[in-house]
Structure 1
Amino acid sequence: MVQIEQIFPSLTWRIRHETMYPELPFDSVKLPDDFDGIHFGLYLDHKLTGVVSLFHDGDVYQFRKLAILPSAQKAGLGLQLMAYILDFCNIQKATKLWCNARINAKEFYFKFGFHETDKTFFKDGYDFVVMEKEL
């Protein structure tokens, strides 16, 4: 059983760390504006298994740190979490949703109609591209 609900920012940190940056110090996954964001947790059989964080400036939303625990990846949970935040953004009347996507995850975002911009950068050992979707 999968359930998605809004969660407190600090609940995202363990999942972010285990999934995205296990080699970095725990505090490296804490965002300076975490307490200004909207955070969602995906629970699989009542266990927090995935997270994503949303931030907005007016009607433009950015999602950050979409993470599914490694042991639960490739089971469609990321797809469900992504669909959930797209629905949320539509309800909020967002005009655009964007993210800093790891280059190796571009194909995942293409499935939802995101397109690459010409903005790229390198951070924490990973290449990123800014991807966006008009809503």
Structure 2
Amino acid sequence: MNHRIVEISPEATIAIRHQVMWPDKPVDYVRLPNDEEGKHYGLFVDDEMVSVISLFITDKQAQFRKFATLQSYQGKGYGTLLLKEVIHVARNLSLDKLWCNARMDKAGYYAKFGMKLTDRTFLKGGIEYVIMEKAIN
């Protein structure tokens, strides 16, 4: 299958975010107050968008958020391609650090990309999160 990664509008991320991350919540739950300030990327397989991620840059660091892949496409490497693209973007922008709020049960996935656990954890919606970070340059 052919794939491509393109920058998309904030609104284009909403359906996949909602379906994958918080399907039991109202759709506004997956919107971010600063969505308009971020860079948003979608991975398309043929002509279907199957994975999204949002990148928010502040000074010399960036946080990626709302990283979601449609369930039927999970485990096929598409999320990996998208996360590698965001790491590449961060390098090209000469950022110092990339970080995320990782669901605790997904920390092992992010560790494969060189992301390190911090001691900062929190609960949201009954789910435990840990902040993970990666030095970029």
TM bracket (short chain): over 0.9
* SS, match of residue 109 in structure 2: helix
Give per-residue Cα distances to partners, 1:29-60, cap 9 Å, x unaligned: 00000000000000011101100000011111
TM-score where L is the length of structure 2: 0.97
Letter in 2 for 1:134: A
SS in 2 for 1:23: coil
Q: Report how many aligned residue pairs link the two structures.
A: 135
1:90 is paired with a residue of what secondary structure? Answer: helix
Match status 1:59 vs 2:86: no
2:23 equivalent in structure 1: 22
Q: Corresponding residue for 2:128?
A: 127
User: What is the TM-score when the length of structure 1 is the normalising length?
Assistant: 0.99
How far 1:16 moved relative to its partner?
A: 0.2
Structure 2 counterpart of 1:108, which letter?
Y
CA distance in 1, matches of 2:58, 2:14: 23
Structure 1, gaps ≥5 residues long = none
Determine what percentage of the aligned residue pairs are the same residue: 41
- For 2:27 and 2:72, locate their aligned partners in 1 and report how far apart those are by CA, in whole Å: 19
- Name the CA distance, whole Å, in 1 between partners of 2:129 and 2:3: 29
Which runs of structure 1 show a deviation greater than 6 angstroms over 4 or more consecutive aligned residues? none
